[in-house]
Amino acid sequence: MPETQHSPAIEVEGLVKEYEYHHKEPGLRGSLRSLLRRETLHKRAVDNISFQIQPGEVVGFLGPNGAGKTTTLKVLCALLYPTSGSVSVLGHVPSRREASYLRSIALVMGQKNMLWWDIPAMETLLLHKEMYRIPEREFRTTVDELSEMLEVGHLLRVQVRKLSLGERMKMELLAALVHAPDVLFLDEPTIGLDVVSQARVREFLKGLNAQQGTTILLTSHYMDDIEALCPRVMLIDMGRIGYDGPLASLVERTSPHKLVSAVYAEPVPRDELLNAIGSLPVQPTDDPLKVSLAVPRDQVAEVASRLLRAGRIADLSIEEPPVEEVIREVFGKAAGERGVS
Ligand SMILES: Nc1ncnc2c1ncn2[C@@H]1O[C@H](COP(=O)(O)OP(=O)(O)OP(=O)(O)O)[C@@H](O)[C@H]1O
Ligand SMILES: [Mg+2]
């Protein structure tokens, strides 16, 4: 890779983004009044955040609705000017909108279409080829590779409006990637897709990162995306970053328990079972031969061996709590501290 190898791909320092907007009262009277006396209001969507992302990292950007995720991505992609703070991506200041910068990044928004509806995706790709001045041979190779990875080769010449949601999303990804960007920003890339398409898109992104070393910053409300793709996560709430680190440590820190489950091959004598369970809280299960316990991390081995001794075991598993639950807990706590329910 170029000169970015030893410096971060993305560097954000004290970024603040405030939106300016005007309050408008409802109705004609309200419209007239706001014409005469417009009150300017400010919304601080991103409130002094700092982080660095190294080349080749895949980072998940998580937060509740309105947390400031899209705003941050838009600043990084030069769609919005920062109010203050400094941003550097691949050594460029995004807001300068240099052509060489725009050529080295891509943004895909699950909620927005970049492709033209009335023409086949191939036409848009050819437009990108001209826009980004991609040499013919490189263009063909990239399109072939990407369409094979995404399994959409046969759809390149079909009008975009005739594609299914999942097929269209894959085309959006393809179109965003024909110029082989080094950094890819994804804003909810799997929103609205069925589970199979979601999994395909995830696999594709994983492969892209592994094969091309593409740096990826992605937001998603689907924890499956985050678990599959992001060793590192940043949590943002009300414009501030509350956690930045490994997903695994977040799970450990937030939930001091692991879930230990035993499925027995035959009913276990009550006393044996009660003895194995001790005073640990039992989780509800729908299988009468299954016991599930939330066990403090330092007691996992001991409890597992007690469960093994209690009866004839068909299956024993030790799991982390679902990430979904962990995230809900983190944001639930934050909301609780603010006095929000
Ligand atoms: N153009 C705008 N003018 C005024 N306020 C805005 C504007 N765009 C966004 N906001 C506000 O800024 C805050 C952050 O919005 P943003 O879209 O970045 O959130 P988000 O984390 O992407 O949320 P979601 O998960 O719902 O997509 C919200 O409170 C939103 O209402
Ligand atoms: Mg958003």
Mean pLDDT, residues 71-81:
96
Whole-number pLDDT of residue 3: 46
- Which of the ligands is closest to the CA of residue 221? 1
Per-residue model confidence as pLDDT tens digits over 128-173: 999 999 999 999 999 999 998 889 999 999 999 999 988 999 999 9
C-alpha distances (whole Å) from 163 to each of 142, 154, 155, 270 are: 21, 11, 8, 58
User: So what's the pLDDT on residue 327?
Assistant: 78
At residue 5, does pLDDT exceed 70?
no
Mean pLDDT of the region 222-248: 92
Give the binding-site residues of ligand 1, using a 6 Å CB cut-off.
19, 21, 43, 45, 63, 65-71
Q: Could you tell me the sign of the dihedral formed by the alpha carbons of 132, 139, 160, 200, in that order?
A: negative
Greater confidence (124 vs 194) lies with: 124
Query: If you measure from the C-alpha of residue 121 to the centroid of ligand 1, how many angstroms do you get, rounded to a whole number?
Result: 30
- Alpha-carbon distances, residue 51 vs 54, 90, 94 (angstroms): 10, 14, 16
pTM of the model: 0.83
Residue nearest to atom 31 of ligand 1 (CA): 66
pLDDT at 80: 96
Q: How far apart are the first and last CA of the chain?
A: 48
pLDDT(233) > 80: yes
Q: How, if at all, do strands 232-237 and 58-62 pair?
A: parallel
Q: Residue-wise over 6-17: b if at least 16 C-beta within 10 A, else e?
A: eebbbbbeebbb
Distance in Å, CA 69 to ligand 1 centroid = 8
d(CA 62, CA 206): 18
Q: Whose CA is nearest to atom 11 of ligand 1?
A: 45
The domains of the chain, with CATH numbers, are: 3-243 (3.40.50.300), 256-319 (3.30.2130.10)
Is the pLDDT at 8 greater than 90? The verdict is yes
pLDDT at 36: 74
Q: Output the CA 263–ligand 1 centroid distance in Å.
A: 46
Task: Evaluate whether 49 touches 238 at the Cβ level (below 8 Å).
Answer: no
**Ligand closest in space to the Cα of 49:** 1
